[in-house]
Chains A and B, each alone.
Chain A
Amino acid sequence: MKKIFWIVTLLLFQATFVFAKLIQVGIKQSIKTITAAVKLSETGDTILVGFNTYHENNLIINKSIVILGLDYPILDGERKFENVSITADNVVFSGFKVINSGISSMTDFAGIKICNRRCVTITNNILTDCFFGIYSQQSTNCIIKDNRLVAHQLQEQQSGNGIHCWKSDSLQIIGNNVSGHRDGIYFEFVTNSLIWKNISTKNMRYGLHFMFSNSDTYTNNVFENNGAGVAVMFSNHVKMYHNYFRENWGDASYGILLKEISDSYIDGNTFERNTSGIFMEGASRIEMYKNTFKGNGWGLKIQASCMDIKLMNNNFTGNTFDVGTNGSLSLNLFDHNYWDKYDGYDLNKNGIGDIPYRPVSMYSMIVEKYPPAMMLFRSLITTLLDKSEKVMPSLTPENLKDNHPLMKPLKL
Chain B
Amino acid sequence: MKKIVKYILLDILRNKIILAYTAILFVVTFSVFSLEDNSQKGMLTLLNLVLFIVPLVSIIFSTIYIYNSSEFIELLVSQPLRRKSIWLSLFIGISGALSLAFIIGAGVPLLIYNHSVTAFMMVANGILISVIFAAIAMVAAVSTRDKAKGIGWAILLWLYFSLVFDGLILFLLFQFSDYPLEKIMIFVSALNPIDLGRILILLKMDVSALMGYTGAVFKEFYGTQLGLIISFSVMLLWVIIPLLYSLRIFNRKDL
Bound-state CA distance A372–B195 (Å) is 13
A251 touches B51 (CB 8 A): no
| A320, B210: Cβ atoms closer than 8 Å | yes
Q: Is the pair B163, A374 in contact by a Cβ cutoff of 8 Å? A: no
With an 8 A cutoff between CB atoms, is A331 at the interface?
no
Contact of A298 with B210 in the complex, beta carbons under 8 Å: yes
* A residues near B189, Cβ cutoff 8 Å: 375
The minimal Cβ–Cβ distance linking B56 to chain A, given in whole angstroms, is 11
Q: Are B44 and A378 in contact (CB under 8 A)?
A: yes
Q: Please tell me which stretch of B6-14, B116-124, B214-222 contacts chain A, meaning at least 4 of its Cβ atoms lie within 8 angstroms of it.
A: B214-222
B166 and A379 contacting across the interface, CB-CB below 8 Å: yes
Contact bitstring B103-127, A, C-beta under 8 A = 1, else 0: 0000000000000000000000000
What interface size band does chain A fall in? Answer: 20 to 34
Q: How far is the CA of A14 from the CA of B49 in the complex (A)?
A: 84
- Write out the residue numbers on chain A whose beta carbons fall within 8 Å of the beta carbon of B188: 375
A320-B162 Cα distance, complex, nearest whole Å: 21
A353 to B188 Cα, complex, angstroms: 42
Q: Of B169, B170, B202, B212, which contacts A378 at CB under 8 A?
A: B202
Q: Cβ of A249 < 8 Å from any Cβ of B?
A: yes
Q: Any chain B CB within 8 A of the CB of A12?
A: no
Is B24 part of the contact surface with A, judged by Cβ < 8 Å?
no
0/1 per residue, A351-373, Cβ < 8 Å to B? 00000000000000011011111
Q: Which of A251, A298, A366, A380 contacts B216 (CB 8 A)?
A: A251
Q: Known contacts being A251-B216, A375-B195, is A381 close to B173, with CB within 8 Å?
A: no
Known A372-B181, A373-B170; judge A379-B209 contact (CB<8 A).
no
Interchain CA distance A374-B211 in the complex, whole Å: 6
A378-B46 Cα distance, complex, nearest whole Å: 12
**A residues 330-346 touching B (CB-CB < 8 Å):** none
| B209 adjacent to A251 (CB under 8 Å) | yes
Give the chain B neighbours of A275 by CB distance below 8 A.
209-210
**From residue A368, how far is it (CB to closest CB) to chain B in Å?**
10
Q: Which one of A253, A298, A373, A376 has the greatest number of beta carbons of chain B within 10 Å?
A: A376
B177 near A378 with CB under 8 A, answer no
A-B contact pairs, 19 of them (CB 8 A): A370-B173, A370-B177, A371-B213, A371-B214, A372-B185, A373-B170, A374-B211, A374-B213, A374-B214, A375-B185, A375-B214, A376-B169, A378-B47, A378-B48, A378-B51, A378-B202, A380-B162, A381-B163, A381-B170
- Excluding A372-B214, A373-B214, 10 further A-B contacts by CB distance (< 8 Å) are A250-B209, A371-B213, A371-B214, A374-B214, A375-B188, A378-B51, A379-B166, A379-B195, A380-B163, A382-B166
Nearest 3 pairs of A and B residues by beta carbon: A374-B214, A381-B166, A297-B210
